[in-house]
Structure formats: C-alpha cells, structure tokens
C-alpha cells in the first residue's frame, strides 16, 4: 500500500507575502474555499499577529473551512501564540504553527541567543501552545543551515513537549536534493521519538530546486509537504503545489506515495489565484502554464495523433483543464447563470449573485461570445471591490491623438454629489488618473499599471491593474470593461476607494 502524504498549503500565508500577491478578506475567503475543494490536509491561513487584517482573515477562514485543518503561524512567543489561538479557535480542526530559528547564523545575528536558550524557549512555547490546542507544528527555521546534532536534540525535546508535526524548512532555498535527503534520513535515524510525529518540509526556490528538494524529502520519509499554488512566495517563491502533487501522482513508481488532493481542481485553483492577484504564470510553467499541454512541433503532433502518451505524461483533464467555450448568452436567465457559477466552483451570497448577474447581462449586451474566463473576471472584480464605493464612476470623456495633448473629463459620484474635473496628461490614461486626483484632492504615487485582454477577439474584456501609494501605504485596484480606458479608470477608482476605506477605519496596515 502506498504511503500517505499530507499536503500543507501556505498560499494564504507565505504565498501572500510575496510582492504583488496581497489579498483582501473576501479574496482570501474565496481562495481558502477553493483550496479546501482541492482537499488539501492543512490550510495555513496567515500570521495572525502580523496585523489586525491578518488576524481577521485567519479568524474568518477558520470559521468558513470545515474539511481541512486551519493553521496560524506564530513566533515562539507567548503573545504570538495567544493571538494565533484566538484566530484559529473557531476552526473545526485548528492548528498552532510556531517557529524559532536554529541555524548558528540566525541564532547569533537575528535572535542574539545561545543555542541552549533557543532550545529552552522552543520547548517552553510548544508546551504553552499545547495548553490551547492538541495539534502543534514546530518549525526549526533555517534548518538546512543548522548543525545536525543540535537539530536532533531540539526536535527530540519539542516532540516530548507535545509537538505533533516537526517542520524542517529550507528557509533560504540553500540546500540540494541529495543534502536534503540525507538530512531527513538523519533525523529519522537519530531522533528516538520521531515516529510520534509527521515530518514536514517547507522549501523555497532561490536556487530553483524547491520542488526537487520537496520530493527528495518525501523519498526520505517526510509525511507532510508544504507548498503554494503557482509556487508563489517570498523571493523566488515556494515549492509549487501543482508540481509536487502531480509528480507524486504521475511517478508512484518512484515515490511510492499518494495524497488525497483532488487534482481536477488544480487548474481552477491556479486560475483563481492568478485572477485575484493579477500575477500571471509563465506560459511554459509546468502543469498550469498556457503551453503545458500545447504541441506545436510536427513530430510531436504526429505522435499525439497516433497515441497521446507519446508526448503527454498526464492528461489535461486530470488537472481540470477545459478549453474555453461559449457558456451563456444575452438571453440566459438568472438560474442558468447561477448553475454555471456552481459548475465553475463559485459559492456566492444572494447579494453577490445579483451584482454578478447584472454585470453579466451588461457584458452580454456588448459581447457576442462569453467565455468562462469572462465570468471569472467578473467575479474576481467583485471580490476585489470588497470595500464600500465612496467614489463611483459617473462618466468620462477622453480626447487623445498624436497631434494633440490628451485630456480627460471625469465625473465621479461621491456622497450623492457629482464631482467633475478636467486634466491633461501624457496620454489618455495619465490624463484620466490626473483628473481623478484633482477630484479627490490628493496626489498619489503610481507604482504599477497593467492591462491585458481576458479572452481573444476584438470585443474581449480588458482587465486593468493599478498599484499606487499614499503616505507609505500601498493599494491595489482592479477594473474590468470591454473599453480598456474605462477598465483603467475603474481600477484607479478601486484603489482610491480602498484608500478611503482604510482612512475611515484609521487602520495602520497596508491594504
């Protein structure tokens, strides 16, 4: 019988910490529900003590998730553990995940602690967490650069203190598969009580070996693998969940292991994350890239026509990949739209459904062919606009050309009043943004602006993304329209509304 491997998804914690991948509360809950549909064993919902927003999102995810375990990260400090428990205590299956650094370089320069003091604190904090929760994961931060003998000792002691999972992270992406295999093997052979816990691994991709290292650890006896969807994460990212899972699934002859992940939900999860964050995967990305199942070479095409297994080691259907097709039309009713959303994996409230349906009908009047991705974009935009709309687009008029200075007249509705301003700029988008700034009376710093088509065709929706800052706070906005200028304006207004919401709350965290 194949050994069972647990999958620990940290997309909402480590993944969300990567630049450009922050999510609001609605987006996190939607993402968490989709991760749960994949049937991962553990969802790390966040770092509860990091901010008020992080605490709230961990707490809400804990309330909403029923099948997967929900974990919150915490340093090996009482205040962190208290906060982590307060956030995850609502979960049906809660876990506290506490960590402390164990490498000489981290203990000396970051913690400024002696090894014996680090060991004592780790043991004390595991015991402290155990008083709250049965399921405790302990991570030896920077384990792959730690002294092996010290690792054996601290792991032995935290297991005696009550840890149920021991994580051996490659925090800085430094190790190689052979080294990692030997490290996990050494832990299994030299920690007398290791049989009482799951051995977990958490690999970063700084040298491009996160997936290879994770799989090497699985061969060496690790029973929990920590990863993120699309491999997002700090610096170069984490081990990609889809690659780890499909490697286990495709090469059972090598790894002799299996996990309970529903692989048909992989593509859906990848697409949802991309839609929420706006961070695209490279076309040649393994498993979920646009070219992963594309065959252009004549030799490859000939082989595929004769027998798919000649050049395809897994099927598109196994990861839930389906071709775009027209799904609904302008005459489709609310029930048909709702059924389609359920087929696509969305669970919306009555209010959210009504809002999405109105946008769908408006789109159907402009666009002859509506694809799944069009609907995904509508839903993603709604979750991106979680905050109340202090400013709403009333109208816009653009004058632009290569022989005139671009100008924009923008009218916004605010507190029942129509506010209108005209501004010039270096192109129609710049002019529009300048007009909005005149209306709100603030000068904002634009960090990033992107626009792309959701689907093919001249009538495709344009999805705009904007990242701007004001008083050291960074905000992300998203806009959607068949008119790319309107999409751009809506994205900027979305940022402004998040800023206004933040100011109203007086919250000091970034959006």
* Phi and psi angles of residue 102, each rounded to the nearest 5 degrees, phi first: -125, -5
Per-residue pLDDT, averaged over 333-339, amounts to: 84
Handedness of CA 488, 489, 494, 495 (dihedral sign): positive
For residue 416, what are its two tokens? 């029942």
Nearest-angstrom CA–CA distance, 3 and 9: 19
pLDDT in tens, 91-123: 999 999 999 999 999 999 999 999 999 999 999
Q: Please give the pLDDT value at position 510.
A: 38
The least confident of 264-278, 367-381, 397-411 is 367-381
* Phi and psi angles of residue 296, each rounded to the nearest 5 degrees, phi first: -100, -35
**Which positions ≥6 away from 453 have C-beta within 8 Å?**
460, 461, 462, 463
Q: How confident is the model at residue 182 (pLDDT cuts 50, 70, 90)?
A: very high
Say how many C-beta atoms besides its own lie within 10 A of residue 131's C-beta.
9
Say how many C-beta atoms besides its own lie within 10 A of residue 136's C-beta.
26
Strand 417-425 to 406-414 pairing? antiparallel
**Which positions ≥6 away from 112 have C-beta within 8 Å?**
none
Instruction: Choose between 85 and 360: higher pLDDT.
Output: 85
Instruction: Tell me the C-alpha to C-alpha distance, in Å, between residue 372 and each of 33, 53, 325.
Output: 19, 31, 7
Q: Please give the pLDDT value at position 86.
A: 98
Residue 144 has pLDDT above 80, yes or no: yes
pLDDT in tens, 270-315: 988 988 887 889 999 999 998 888 744 454 444 544 566 676 789 9
Residue by residue, DSSP assigns 118-150 as HHHHHHHHHHHHHTT-S-EEEEEETGGGS-HHH
């Amino acid at each position: 019988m194949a050994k069972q491997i647990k999958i620990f998804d940290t997309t909402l914690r480590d993944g969300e910490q990567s630049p450009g991948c922050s999510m609001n509360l609605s987006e996190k809950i939607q993402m968490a529900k989709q991760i749960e549909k994949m049937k991962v064993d553990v969802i790390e919902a966040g770092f509860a003590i990091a901010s008020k927003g992080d605490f709230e999102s961990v707490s809400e995810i804990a309330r909403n998730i029923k099948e997967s375990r929900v974990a919150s990260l915490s340093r090996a400090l009482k205040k962190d553990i208290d906060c982590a428990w307060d956030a995850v205590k609502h979960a049906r299956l809660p876990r506290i995940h506490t960590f402390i650094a164990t490498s000489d370089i981290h203990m000396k320069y970051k913690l400024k602690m002696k090894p014996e003091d680090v060991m004592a604190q780790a043991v004390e904090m595991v015991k402290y967490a155990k008083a709250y929760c049965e399921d405790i994961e302990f991570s030896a931060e920077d384990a792959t650069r730690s002294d092996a003998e010290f690792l054996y000792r601290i792991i032995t002691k935290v297991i005696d203190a009550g840890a149920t999972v021991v994580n051996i992270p490659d925090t800085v992406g430094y190790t190689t598969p052979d080294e990692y295999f030997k490290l996990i093997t050494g832990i299994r052979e030299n920690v007398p009580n290791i049989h009482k816990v799951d051995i977990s691994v958490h690999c970063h991709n700084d040298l491009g070996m996160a997936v290879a290292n994770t799989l090497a650890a699985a061969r060496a006896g690790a029973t929990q693998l920590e990863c993120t969807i699309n491999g997002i994460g700090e610096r170069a990212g984490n081990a990609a969940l889809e690659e780890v899972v499909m490697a286990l699934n495709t090469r059972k002859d090598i790894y002799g292991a299996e996990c309970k992940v529903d692989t048909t939900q992989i593509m859906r999860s990848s697409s949802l994350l991309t839609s929420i964050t706006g961070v695209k995967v490279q076309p040649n990305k393994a498993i979920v890239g646009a070219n992963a199942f594309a065959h252009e070479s004549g030799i490859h095409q000939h082989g595929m026509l004769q027998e798919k297994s000649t050049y395809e080691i897994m099927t598109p259907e196994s990861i839930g990949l389906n071709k775009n097709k027209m799904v609904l039309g302008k005459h489709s009713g609310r029930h048909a739209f709702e059924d389609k959303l359920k087929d696509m994996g969305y669970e919306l409230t009555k209010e959210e459904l009504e809002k999405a349906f109105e946008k769908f009908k408006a789109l159907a009047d402009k666009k002859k062919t509506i694809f799944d991705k069009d609907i995904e974009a509508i839903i993603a935009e709604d979750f991106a606009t979680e905050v109340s709309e202090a400013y709403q687009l009333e109208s816009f008029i653009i004058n632009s050309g290569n022989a005139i200075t671009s100008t924009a007249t923008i009218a916004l509705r605010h507190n029942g009043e129509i506010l209108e301003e005209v501004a010039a700029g270096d192109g129609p988008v710049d002019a529009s943004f300048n007009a909005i700034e005149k209306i709100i009376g603030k000068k904002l710093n634009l960090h990033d602006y992107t626009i792309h088509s959701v689907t093919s065709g001249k009538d495709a929706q344009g999805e705009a993304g904007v990242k701007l800052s004001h008083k050291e706070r960074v905000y992300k906005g998203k806009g959607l329209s068949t008119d790319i200028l309107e999409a751009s304006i809506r994205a900027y207004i979305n940022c402004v509304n998040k800023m206004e919401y933040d100011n109203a709350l007086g919250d000091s965290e970034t959006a």
